[in-house]
């Protein structure tokens, strides 16, 4: 679980890949919490959605991903390794893994009295 407040900065790590599915593709937030979508969302959407949830709730937990990952044979250690390799520039011609990072900075908007965030791709 992650909690945020005024002044908190987090790095959101997103991995997407294309396994030749007829429709869409898997995408996964690996850090600071685990979030998964099979629907082909963009990396930017996944990071922004997490930021919005953190602003609304002040915290976020891992999504329940274990049963689908077990069924598909995906291991988090392996996906983290692929993420690191993709960030270093390794190409994955078969599955087209792509790794993206965003920095989210949370701040209290004094006019509306709510937590907001800025997001920058790094």
Buried b (16+ CB within 10 A) or exposed e, 15-30: bbbeeeeeeebbbbbb
Residues in Cβ contact with 82 at an 8 Å cutoff, skipping those fewer than 6 apart: 15, 17, 92, 97, 99
How long a stretch of residues is the chain?
Answer: 122
* pLDDT above 80 (res 20): no
User: Pick the residue with more confidence: 77 or 69?
Assistant: 77
Residue 49, domain extent: 2-121
Say how many domains are in the chain. Answer: 1
Q: What is the pLDDT of residues 72-121, one digit of tens each?
A: 888 999 999 999 999 999 999 888 999 999 999 999 998 888 999 999 99
Distance, in Å, from the CA atom of 74 to the CA atom of 88, rounded to the nearest integer, reads 21
85: which DSSP letter?
A: H
Which residue in 34, 40, 42 sits closest to 75, CA to CA? 34
Highest mean pLDDT, choosing among 9-23, 43-57, 68-82 = 43-57
Q: What is the largest CA-CA distance in the chain?
A: 49
Q: What percent of the chain has pLDDT over 90?
A: 73
pLDDT score, position 104: 98
């Amino acid at each position: 679980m992650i909690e945020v407040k005024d002044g908190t900065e987090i790095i959101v790590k997103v991995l997407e890949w294309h396994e030749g599915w007829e429709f869409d593709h898997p995408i996964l937030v690996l850090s600071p919490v685990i979030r998964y979508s099979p629907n082909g969302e963009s990396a930017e959407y996944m990071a922004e959605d997490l930021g919005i949830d953190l602003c609304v709730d002040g915290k976020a937990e891992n999504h329940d991903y274990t049963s689908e990952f077990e069924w598909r044979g995906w291991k988090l250690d392996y996906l983290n390794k692929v993420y690191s390799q993709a960030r270093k520039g390794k190409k994955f011609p078969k599955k087209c893994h792509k790794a993206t990072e965003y920095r989210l900075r949370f701040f209290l908007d004094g006019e509306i009295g709510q937590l907001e965030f800025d997001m920058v791709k790094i």
